Structure 1
């Protein structure tokens, strides 16, 4: 969580003081039905905080793993092996490797780690330099909490009945679940590199506090006293309908930016619209024409002057532009 003197990661000066040791710890319970995907997601989620501060050259990562005691020995063996394989595969794509960790038994499975990187202080993306007129970009669509639950709703007759009644079919829902996994498995490494290239004035990653929660944390550390207004909410197709249907009776607050995300995108503050559009074009160019991520990256808001009498922070404007991808 961002505070005035603590960004997304721990930062400790090392050596001559020109370099810093950047580290972060994170772990989570399963959100994907595929154990290999889950392992990959856990690694991507752990690395995300480092990417949010501009650290794209990860030295190493330690794995934190709990094996579920409620599973049979066969289930433990199969799922644990696949989760570890996914975790290692993600680390390989990130250009790092697992060098240790800790494994224990637990009533439910958990997976995550502690990632570390050393970098020059001058390369850090600081969080507090935005001024009114700057533009806010989001690099991934929202809705991973919804798609993670959708996979369960599709296996529950009563909840699936509510989904079908809302007009969603198996094909749409299956695609949404796949898109959710794809989003969570996508490393924020490209966005991290581009933040430095395009002179980001601050950034954070969107995870447990949701879009508006993390935007609020980001706004509150701005030295200019500025706030953030969000007018666009990009979502995975189908999640808009699901957030209103509430198959399990829960209000996720997706369209209000309150829904938690797992391994979400980077929320990046850039100088102006022109810079933001170039950033988005460069981000999309990282993927092939037939890759759905070729359409990711949106201007979602702007930095504004905090009105007299208001608290410095962030808000989603009424009736935001909802984009479905």
Structure 2
């Protein structure tokens, strides 16, 4: 192929294809054109009559450079001008600047130089493969075929490096097949110096290869968790393990691990009302409660929904503290309970440290301290806390305070339950889970302060029982009814797509029983978001009843920090013989 470079508007060379690739065609995308004219001005079919295609390409061979371009015209050095509706400017791979800045040896283009073992030639502990790397002894184009082929040897050498075994060399293939679609359900093929097409048969071949490859990332196999069976790096299912793990107090994490972790945890917050905490080896913590206040206590504990112990510590702590915020209490102290997966003492120490680090960061931000806790070994990572808060008894918020005329405000978007249910089934996109985690990392503390400031009459946090479950507790306690606006509820990204696939949390069927309290459930149950009303939330938002006259101002204040806050309904009088919840 003959194309090497293109020029941008300023006449500077811009790589159009990589120097290592043989590519000698350019395409001119013509949208909504059913036909093209040949040299004699005659119409020639580019898309077959059977195809419903509004996209055509004009292949111009041997045009070495593009001199200039405008929104709808390309001008080549030869003087050729091509009109087009859309210009696709194709560039080659480029390296991130930080690779050089980090001190890694790189080639002239900034890609990491690696040896035959895929190790950095300057930092052997660093491995690199794919577009980010250039093999010193086997220079190849930045093409997907090479990146894919490097995956398995990279994995094997990483495992060998950890096991202190000799690394294996990898030599990439020299020739490879190129299949390029021309946009009209045909394709061009080349391998080495041989090329042919465009042909529809080649397109079908390319389409089959692409779909087969992508299917590996769509229909993923769900694998169970594995646990160490020996000190030699092998693992197997725990039920087949030869190692016996004791129960009772024999399941505790070792004292040396615990001692090392607690020595590393530095708490920024210090309180005078904590008489005995983690700084002494006593059997229990001791706190002082002021005579004019009451102590509010809550406890939560659940298995990890994220793999990162640090994030789990933060999410679980936010979740636990929300009960205090919903009651109008100020956090004072907490005791932790952690289950750490079976592993070496070094791994357990790191997991426990990361877990408690995340927890203490959130506690300290809330003005509370971690006083102690309990650790145990188990099959899966899990974490929870008993949280203590202080409040003036006359300022406590109850579920029973809702009054007719109040407006319902929800401070966070819904959907963590279905999102992580989909994630467990390998059906959730990464950005959806990232949005959910971002939401769960937001504390409800400031939201609670604002709700109190604007005269909230009742409050709860939306967690395991779902929106309807927790709302029903408030309705029953207050002896009122509510009208809930389903379209007003804020929803996390990806939730609608997951619900359409029929994916729900394992707790959803039990929560769905609450639909017996909805007076028009038959009419609204077909709404795409209806199952979301029963979705269990982790570190969910606050649901509060606010007097109607202050609701708008309260919402505006909340949205300065809690952008997903919404007015989702109103409180009305309860009619005898009528179910208390109506979906509007």
**TM-score (structure 1 length as normaliser):** 0.77
- Whole-angstrom distance in 1 between the partners of 2:446 and 2:497: 30
2:537: which partner in 1?
261
- By percentage of residues, which structure has more helix? 1
- Whole-angstrom distance in 2 between the partners of 1:268 and 1:142: 15
Contact 2:339 2:381 in 1 (8 A): yes
Contact 1:134 1:271 in 2 (8 A): yes
Pair 1:25–1:106, CA change in 2 (3 A): same
Whether 2:340 is the aligned partner of 1:67: answer yes
- Whole-angstrom distance in 2 between the partners of 1:72 and 1:153: 29
- Whole-angstrom distance in 2 between the partners of 1:186 and 1:124: 23
- Whole-angstrom distance in 1 between the partners of 2:507 and 2:482: 24
Contact 1:150 1:177 in 2 (8 A): no
Whether 2:356 is the aligned partner of 1:84: answer yes
- How does 1:9-158 map onto structure 2 within 5 Å? 18-55=292-329, 57-69=330-342, 71=343, 75-154=347-426
Q: Any idea what the Cα deviations from partners look like across 1:2-47, whole Å, max 9, x if unmatched? A: xxxxxxxxxxxx765x421111111111112322111101111111
- How does 1:134-283 map onto structure 2 within 5 Å? 134-154=406-426, 160=427, 173-222=429-478, 225-232=479-486, 233-247=489-503, 252=508, 255-256=530-531, 257-272=533-548, 274-283=549-558
1:314: which partner in 2?
581
- Whole-angstrom distance in 1 between the partners of 2:300 and 2:507: 25
Deviation at 1:54, TM superposition (A): 0.8
Contact 1:125 1:195 in 2 (8 A): no
Deviation at 1:199, TM superposition (A): 0.6
**TM-score (structure 2 length as normaliser):** 0.44
Contact 1:41 1:185 in 2 (8 A): yes
Describe the SS at the equivalent of 2:409: strand
Contact 1:59 1:117 in 2 (8 A): yes
Contact 2:304 2:380 in 1 (8 A): no
Describe the SS at the equivalent of 1:234: coil
1:9: which partner in 2?
none
Q: Any idea what the Cα deviations from partners look like across 1:246-304, whole Å, max 9, x if unmatched? A: 358979476340011111100000110x4222112112223xxxxxx4x2100011112
Q: Any idea what the Cα deviations from partners look like across 1:129-181, whole Å, max 9, x if unmatched? A: 22222110000000111222333344xxxxx4xx7xxxxxxxxx222211111
- Whole-angstrom distance in 2 between the partners of 1:248 and 1:238: 13
Contact 1:54 1:195 in 2 (8 A): no
- Whole-angstrom distance in 1 between the partners of 2:581 and 2:356: 38
Deviation at 1:314, TM superposition (A): 3.4
Deviation at 1:93, TM superposition (A): 1.8
2:573: which partner in 1?
305
Describe the SS at the equivalent of 1:51: helix
Q: Which runs of 5+ in 1 are unaligned?
A: 1-13, 155-159, 164-172, 287-292, 321-325
Regions of 4+ moved over 4 Å: 71-75, 247-254
For these two proteins, the number of residue pairs brought into alignment is: 274
Compare CA radii of gyration and give the structure with the larger one: 2
- Whole-angstrom distance in 2 between the partners of 1:73 and 1:210: 38
Q: Which runs of 5+ in 2 are unaligned?
A: 1-288, 513-528
Pair 1:62–1:126, CA change in 2 (3 A): same
2:157: which partner in 1?
none
Deviation larger for 263-272 or 73-82: 73-82
Q: Cα RMSD between the aligned structures?
A: 2.3
Pair 1:219–1:251, CA change in 2 (3 A): closer
Deviation at 1:241, TM superposition (A): 1.5
Q: Which structure exhibits the higher relative contact order, with contacts defined as CA atoms closer than 8 Å and separated by 6 or more residues?
A: 1
Describe the SS at the equivalent of 1:58: strand
Describe the SS at the equivalent of 2:375: strand
- Whole-angstrom distance in 2 between the partners of 1:21 and 1:138: 26
Describe the SS at the equivalent of 1:59: strand
- Whole-angstrom distance in 2 between the partners of 1:190 and 1:231: 25
2:175: which partner in 1?
none
